[in-house]
Structure 1
Amino acid sequence: MVKQLQQRYTYNGRQYTLPGLKKFVDFSSAGNMFGSLVVTTKTGIPVKIVFVRNRHKKSECLYLLSTDTSLNNAEIVRIYGNRWSIECFFKASKSFLKLGSEFQSRTLLLGYKTAERLYALERIEGKQEAVDRLDDVLYHKIPYISDYI
């Protein structure tokens, strides 16, 4: 996801910010939730920016950036959706397991990282039952393991 900073992208020979580029995207049809533009960065790299419109507030938009300009909009949104759920899992697991910057137990860290990788793989493969089982283990059993290490 790209933040609305003052980063400028080149489109049709001119420099634009993300809100400026949004004006070129056609959201006219009723069910059209996203559109895209292929632009170049200041370093000359071609990127595809997908604009995802907020259903409830049409003026708001998320910006998803991909360096693979051949992917269609739905595929980019799907990939970001998978990645976002993994990021949320990582943050929640870190919070539940109390893994701050001063974490010392290598055994617990190794177990956590293993569970994290399993979760990511199962999530990517779409195996919801396995994801639910991992959630149960991570949120209900692993926090108590740290009491014994």
Structure 2
Amino acid sequence: MVAIHLINYVAHFADSRRTQALIIDDSLFKREFSKRTELLSRVFDHDHGCYYKGFRALTLGWSDGNTFMPLNFALMSSSHAKNRISTSRVCDGRTLAARRRAQAQRKMNEVALDLVDDAIQAGTKAKFVLFDSWFTSPKMFAALLKRGLFGVGMLKRSEKVYFRYRKRQMNVKSLYQILRRSKWPAHDNYLYSPIVYFEVNGTSMPVKLVFVTNRANANQYLVLGTTKTNLRPEEIVQLYGRRWQIEGFFKVGKQYLQFDQTQVQNYDGLCGHMAMVMFGYDILALSQREAIDDRTLGDLFYDFGRPLPDIAVAQALQWLMQQLSGLGAQFAGAEQIIDGIFDQFMQTLPSNLAGLLGNAS
């Protein structure tokens, strides 16, 4: 509710044509040295390829391309009982505490859709949902379309996910090879952008793909997809680029807002801790949006940071006297008055400094 009020406040001063989007991602909430934390489980870290003790902090955020604000979260345990190290305490099924604990043991894709539903019901006007390859699937695209939303995600280069292109069944890798052998020219900002059709529950769903060169490795490529097929490829790439803002939230949360640095063992206490982290980041995001400090412009930052050369005192005084003399020459009678002031000023100076000024003049 706090984030929705801040979003409405920010959107009131933004251009109405600016596209609003929701962003879904999760981050590891480590509790390596815990044993009795409620619903503690072994969760898989995709970055390091191994299991850690803790939770997955599933987060939903909002972005207008400039400001990112976290909206809601779900502190996910494991959906497999064998991976859960600690059990949950018994709660009345009608309470929020019981619903939270049941939600933590469900599949993450289903909970992500629940977070999106809550955000839309609360008043969010976003029409796009951004997510990485872990959440990208034909079922996710279809589920968002049923809600009147358009998904934008990165597709896995998997041989197990098939679609139809020109009435032929193929996957991402085979389609890329066909496009490379074809006469389609590659563009500067992207390679190719075909429209393919996924079959979901007997219904054909068009998805526009964009093949982009991986800057980290020129021999590899990335594949973006969206159900908003009338978007230009450049717009799809630019829109998906906003997803990185949620990574910035995770970094700031872990380095400065004590994201996973708490000794609370109760699951409700952990959820309260996460809520306070998001409140703190929302306040920082609003302060940044309202800041009016001068922004740096490229190399000007380094030019302004360079130390100015020191000017000798005698040179500075000489320059000042020359400027005042020039002003006195422009007005009748003022030159004699300024000369008298200079004479009195020279008499009050130390002898060594008066000698330097006399030699310089």
Q: TM-score range by the shorter chain?
A: 0.5 to 0.7
Q: Report the equivalent of 1:19.
A: 173
Percent identity (aligned): 27
Question: Do structure 1's residue 48 and structure 2's residue 48 form an aligned pair?
Answer: no
Write the distance in 1 (CA, Å) between the matches of 2:199 and 2:287: 37
TM-score by length of 1: 0.65
Q: Describe the shift of the 1:118–1:7 C-alpha distance in structure 2 as closer, same or farther (beyond 3 A).
A: farther
Q: Does the Cα contact within 8 Å between 2:198 and 2:206 map onto a contact in 1?
A: yes
1:80-99 to 2 correspondence within 5 Å?
A: 80-86=240-246, 88-96=247-255, 97-99=258-260
5+ residue gaps, structure 2: 1-153, 293-361
SS at match of 1:65: strand
Q: Describe the shift of the 1:112–1:98 C-alpha distance in structure 2 as closer, same or farther (beyond 3 A).
A: closer
1:112 partner letter: V
2:220 partner letter: E
Task: Render the CA deviation track for 1:18-49: whole Å, top value 9, x for unaligned.
Answer: 111123263546x3533211101122211011
Question: Do structure 1's residue 2 and structure 2's residue 158 form an aligned pair?
Answer: no
5+ residue gaps, structure 1: 131-149
Write the distance in 1 (CA, Å) between the matches of 2:218 and 2:207: 24
Q: Does the Cα contact within 8 Å between 1:27 and 1:33 map onto a contact in 2?
A: no
TM-score by length of 2: 0.30
Task: Point out the structure with max Rg over C-alpha.
Answer: 2
SS at match of 2:199: coil
How many equivalent residue pairs? 125
Q: Does the Cα contact within 8 Å between 2:209 and 2:226 map onto a contact in 1?
A: yes
Give the RMSD, CA atoms, in angstroms: 3.4
Q: Report the equivalent of 1:111.
A: 276
Q: Report the equivalent of 1:33.
A: 190
Question: Do structure 1's residue 71 and structure 2's residue 224 form an aligned pair?
Answer: no
Task: Render the CA deviation track for 1:78-119: whole Å, top value 9, x for unaligned.
Answer: 111111232x1243245332438x662555422322344567
Task: Render the CA deviation track for 1:59-85: whole Å, top value 9, x for unaligned.
Answer: 311011101001111111111111123
Deviation of the 1:2 alpha carbon: 1.1
Q: Describe the shift of the 1:32–1:80 C-alpha distance in structure 2 as closer, same or farther (beyond 3 A).
A: closer
